[in-house]
């Protein structure tokens, strides 16, 4: 009698336990599925936000330190500008050859970079970097993060004090990605998940650039996002 | 009964352990994701704070550096340093030429042995360069100037009138041409007075009309009577258009329009005039003068060349001795962090 009561009780227990377990599993499944959806949303939103962030950062920083009036052109969905790459402090020299201290986002590249030099007498002047050589034993002082070099420019300078060097840069949306011009090829800087038709760069007046970025397909974020990037410092 | 309990307890325990394990796994995943996000955000915040510290260091220097630059040309000197919120900041002054400097700000990163940097090109007035820009005692845009009224100066750094010589001043002999002509045309490019591509008139290097008005030690207008000895430098005296100065004054006179030195009046030091200058009968000006318009010199009036008087008036104008952002593009650019 006791054993029978025990078996019956165990069966009820098992049914209740199974039901409860099923409820737990169902709840867990719902939680896991919701989390998976949320995770997928977060990943997708992160990718879209990353594409926006990269585009905004590149265009914004390039325009903020572009090479001066007339250096920015926006045509046929492409923005072309002189992209800032580093600074230079003049130490000694004459004519077109000078000892300089250089620091920047990358090393200067001869026959590719241009230099905007502030001349104490004449103001800002543009020049091209013809040749650069290593320094180390010249007259420049030791400055943290700077290295001494010997530069030859394509023009004589009277009293250069400091300057910035640039390279010709280009950006556009094509083949589903935001791309930068490297040599003659357009390299992607975002993943190829953008909508070419809705993503664009266009002139906004005063040297500013209007940028729109749209995700290809259903977007997790408000689309499209547009902003105006301004020149200046 | 006691023998059955372990089976039942074990079954329930397994279910609980399974559920707990599932929940723990979810919790760990969430915690790990949150930690990664916090770490990433922390790095970005660290870099931003270091960049702000570097930029703030330069702004601090721009506000607090005063007096003539004490850094030798080509040299580097630490100007200020401090700690803000556990973050070390420092600013160095690198003197490129006598007047151009680069202010380099550094801000340390908390999470890495590196420093963010910020660089600004600044202009810092040097009296040696300013007086060295003169090609004549009186540079004027026009007017008939009698030769005997503005005599050339054979020894530009020698004593003149009541002013002792200044040959021993560092760099002055190299900057100033000697002998110095009596009168001549405005320098080209018109750097001090005139448009010259550099904005308003009058001008003192990168200091334009608005800056000079702001930095003035004294403003005069209409008929102003002054009573200063020839070496009692009053700093920068800004005169409104049409001002007539009676008595005697000394310092850097900046006339925003036309100005007149009344008969028997006297001015010692540097004179910059945006309009016309008239010297009344018997008036005497000692120093260097640059006049954008025409200069009219009355009977027995004279301009006595004295580089030393002009130099000392500029040295004494303490409000002008501070680094200033150069117009257009003072911020040299975004520099990457460096180890250290």
Token pair listed for B46:
């660290």
Q: Which residues of A touch B197 (CB under 8 A)?
A: 123
Print burial letters for B23-56: b (CB count within 10 Å at least 16), e (below 16): eeeeeeeeeeeeeeeeeeeeeeebbebbbbbbbb
Q: Would you call B100 and A118 a contact, using CB atoms and an 8 Å cutoff? A: yes
Of A1-15, A199-213, B148-162, B308-322, which gets the smallest average pLDDT? A1-15
Q: What is the predicted pLDDT for the residue at A103?
A: 94
Model pLDDT, residue B194: 42
Question: Using one digit for the tens of pLDDT, what is the confidence trace for B42-52?
Answer: 888 888 899 99
Rounded CA separation A109/A130 (Å): 9
- At residue A223, the 3 state secondary structure works out as coil
Q: Residue B155 and residue B147: Cα distance in Å, rounded?
A: 18
Residues of B in Cβ contact (< 8 Å) with A10: 8
Residues of B with a Cβ under 8 Å from any A Cβ are 1, 4, 8, 11-12, 15, 19, 22, 26, 74-76, 92, 94, 96-97, 99-100, 102, 104, 106, 115, 117, 119, 121, 189, 191, 197-198, 326, 328-336, 338, 340
Q: Which residue of B has its CA nearest to A21?
A: B15
Residues of B whose CB is below 8 A from A35: 26
Give the best-scoring range by mean pLDDT among A2-16, A21-35, A138-152, B308-322: B308-322
Q: Which of A25, A115, A161 to mutate to test the interface with B (most CBs of B within 10 A)?
A: A161
pLDDT tier, B70 (very low <50, low <70, confident <90, very high otherwise)? very high
Query: Do A110 and A127 meet the contact criterion of CB atoms below 8 Å apart?
Result: no
The whole-angstrom separation of Cα B153 and Cα B156 is 6
Residues in B closer than 8 angstroms to A117, CB to CB, are none
Residue A52's pLDDT is: 87
pLDDT band at B113 (very low <50, low <70, confident <90, very high): confident
Interface touch A120/B100, C-beta < 8 Å: yes
- Residue B229 reports pLDDT greater than 60: yes
Per-residue DSSP letters for B103-135?
A: EEEEEE-SSSSEEEEEEEEEE---HHHHHHT-S
pTM across the whole model = 0.80
Structure confidence at residue B67 as a pLDDT band (50, 70, 90): very high
Q: Which residues of A touch B331 (CB under 8 A)?
A: 233
Q: What is the pLDDT of residue B4?
A: 52
For residue A180, the distance in angstroms to the closest alpha carbon of chain B comes to 20
pLDDT in tens, A198-217: 899 998 887 789 999 988 87
Residue B148 C-alpha, separation from nearest chain A C-alpha, in angstroms:
33
Chain B residues lying within 8 Å of A162, measured CB to CB: 96, 100, 102, 121, 332
pLDDT, tens only, A171-196: 999 999 999 998 889 999 998 888 88
pLDDT at position B5 over 70 = no
- The Cα B54–Cα B107 span in angstroms is 4
In this prediction, residue B195 carries a pLDDT of 42
User: In this model, does residue B301 exceed pLDDT 60?
Assistant: yes
Spatial contact of B101 and B95, defined as CB atoms under 8 Å apart? yes
Among candidates B22, B26, B102 on the partner chain, residue whose Cβ is nearest the Cβ of A89:
B102
For chain A, the average pLDDT equals 86
Residue B162: partners with Cβ closer than 8 Å, 6 or more residues away: B230, B231, B268, B286
For residue A147, whether the previous peptide bond is cis, meaning omega lies within 30 degrees of 0, is no
Mean pLDDT throughout A20-44?
Answer: 86
What average pLDDT does this structure show over A46-69? Answer: 83
Contacts of B26 in chain A (CB under 8 A): 31-32, 35
Extended beta strands in A29-184, E state: 73-75, 78-104, 114-119, 123-134, 147-157, 160-174, 177-182
Please judge whether A161 and B19 are an interchain contact, meaning their C-beta atoms are less than 8 angstroms apart: no
Judge: B12–A144 Cβ closer than 8 Å, yes or no.
no
Cα-trace Rg, chain B: 33
Shortest distance between the Cα of B74 and any Cα of chain A, in A, equals: 7
């Amino acid at each position: 009698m006791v054993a029978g009561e025990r078996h019956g009780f165990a069966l009820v227990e098992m049914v209740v336990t199974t039901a409860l377990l099923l409820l737990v599993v169902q709840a867990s499944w719902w939680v896991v599925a919701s989390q998976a959806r949320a995770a997928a949303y977060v990943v997708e939103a992160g990718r879209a936000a990353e594409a926006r962030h990269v585009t905004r950062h590149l265009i914004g920083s390039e325009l903020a330190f572009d090479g001066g009036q007339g250096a920015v052109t926006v045509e046929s969905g492409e923005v072309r500008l002189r992209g800032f790459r580093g600074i230079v402090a003049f130490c000694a020299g004459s004519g077109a050859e000078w000892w300089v201290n250089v620091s920047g986002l990358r090393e200067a590249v001869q026959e590719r970079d241009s230099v905007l030099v502030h001349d104490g007498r004449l103001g800002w002047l543009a020049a091209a970097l013809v040749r650069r050589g290593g320094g180390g034993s010249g007259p420049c002082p030791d400055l943290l993060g700077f290295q001494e070099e010997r530069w030859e420019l394509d023009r004589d300078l009277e009293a250069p004090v400091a300057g910035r060097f640039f390279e010709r840069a280009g950006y556009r949306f094509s083949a589903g990605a935001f791309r930068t011009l490297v040599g003659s090829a357009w390299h992607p800087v975002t993943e190829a998940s953008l909508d070419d038709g809705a993503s664009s760069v266009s002139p906004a007046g005063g040297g500013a650039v209007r940028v729109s970025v749209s995700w290809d397909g259903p977007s997790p974020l408000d689309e499209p996002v547009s902003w105006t990037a301004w020149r200046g410092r | 009964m006691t023998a059955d309990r372990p089976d039942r307890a074990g079954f329930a325990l397994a279910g609980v352990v399974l559920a707990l394990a599932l929940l723990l796994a979810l919790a760990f995943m969430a915690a790990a994701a949150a930690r990664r996000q916090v770490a990433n955000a922390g790095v970005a915040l660290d870099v931003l704070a270091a960049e702000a510290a570097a930029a703030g260091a330069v702004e601090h220097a721009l506000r607090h550096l005063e007096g003539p630059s004490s850094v030798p040309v080509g040299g580097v000197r630490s100007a200020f340093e401090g700690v803000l919120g556990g973050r070390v900041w420092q600013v160095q002054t690198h003197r490129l030429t006598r007047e151009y400097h680069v202010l380099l700000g550094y801000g340390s990163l908390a999470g890495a042995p590196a420093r963010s940097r910020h660089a600004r090109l600044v202009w810092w007035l040097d009296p040696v360069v300013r007086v060295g820009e003169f090609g004549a005692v009186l540079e004027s845009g026009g007017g008939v100037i009698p030769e005997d009224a503005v005599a050339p100066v054979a020894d530009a750094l020698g004593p003149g009138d009541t002013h002792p010589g200044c040959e021993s001043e560092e760099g002055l002999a190299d900057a100033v041409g000697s002998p110095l002509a009596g009168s001549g045309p405005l320098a080209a490019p018109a750097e001090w007075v005139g448009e010259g591509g550099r904005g308003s008139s009058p001008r003192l290097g990168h200091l334009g009309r608005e800056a000079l008005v702001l930095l003035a030690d004294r403003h005069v207008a209409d008929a102003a009577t002054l009573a200063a000895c020839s070496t009692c430098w009053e700093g920068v005296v800004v005169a409104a258009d049409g001002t007539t100065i009676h008595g005697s004054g000394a310092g850097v006179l900046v006339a925003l329009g036309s100005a007149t030195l009344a008969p028997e009046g006297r001015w010692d030091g540097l004179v910059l005039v945006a309009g016309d200058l008239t010297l009344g009968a018997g008036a005497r000006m000692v120093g260097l003068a640059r006049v954008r318009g025409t200069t009219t010199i009355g009977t027995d009036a004279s301009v006595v060349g004295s580089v030393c008087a002009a130099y000392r008036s500029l040295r004494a104008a303490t409000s002008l001795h501070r680094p200033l952002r150069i117009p257009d593009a003072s911020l040299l650019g975004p520099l990457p962090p460096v180890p250290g």
